[in-house]
Amino acid sequence: MNKSVIISGGSQGIGKALVKKFLKEGFNVYTCGRDANKLSGLEKEFSNPGLKTFVADLSQKNQVLDFANWILAQEKSIDVLINNAGFFMPGQIQNEEDGVLEAQIQANLYSAYHLTKALLPTFQAKKSGHIFSICSTASITAYTAGGSYCISKFALLGFTKVLREELKTQGIKVTAVLPGATLTPAWDGVNLPESRFIPADDVAETIFSAYQMSPSTVLEEILIRPQLGDIEL
């Protein structure tokens, strides 16, 4: 029986690289995104019966639960959950428009919180599995143009640390992944060479390597930066 992985926000960027990697390794992959056309393109590009997609905006709790229920109707045993959904909105606390913080918290934090809670009983039932949260270097660095994005990513790292402590005696691994500037559509239009960015495939390969470690070992945090250092947000 193939193993299964849930990847939120899998239609582009790091999420898409993760979909590609786990399909290559023979997993059944369940993913979601807000754009039905991008998900359709994903299915056509990979043309793999193990890929299953669902249209959902995970900044909305009801749609998170719809996604989770759709998964559980098909898959009773989940091996990996990767909380990847989210987005970056530049700004400063002192001059951000009203609602920016709420939007970033809902997409970058609440999506992971509600999806994890909905799927956690499947991990607890078999006392195994691995949960990853795609945080950011913005989870540990206060960028002056990061504003509410930094706040949301600091919170996501905190969520992941708490989850690790809660679940470490239950056989469930929890890992925070903190990539720096990664070559994804979030950086479209930026006048910098590709060499200044982390390839999304490198992040996916690193996550899969962490997953493969023995049951007695966990990488609690994975910090990945471009060789030339951070790019100021």
What is the maximal distance between C-alpha atoms in the chain?
53
167/77 Cα distance (integer angstroms): 17
14/204 Cα distance (integer angstroms): 7
Nearest to 174 by CA among 81, 108, 97, 100: 81
In DSSP notation, 155-192 reads: HHHHHHHHHHHHHGGGT-EEEEEEE-SBSSGGGTT---
63/69 Cα distance (integer angstroms): 10
Q: Is 143 designated active site?
A: no
CA 11 and chain centroid, separation: 12
Q: What is the gyration radius of the CA atoms in the chain, in angstroms? A: 17
157/129 Cα distance (integer angstroms): 19
Catalytic residue among 30, 143, 149, 211: 149
What Cα–Cα distance (Å) separates residue 71 from each residue in 62, 118, 147, 149, 184? 14, 10, 34, 29, 27
Residue 156 dihedral angles phi and psi, to the nearest 5°:
-65, -40
Catalytic residues: 149
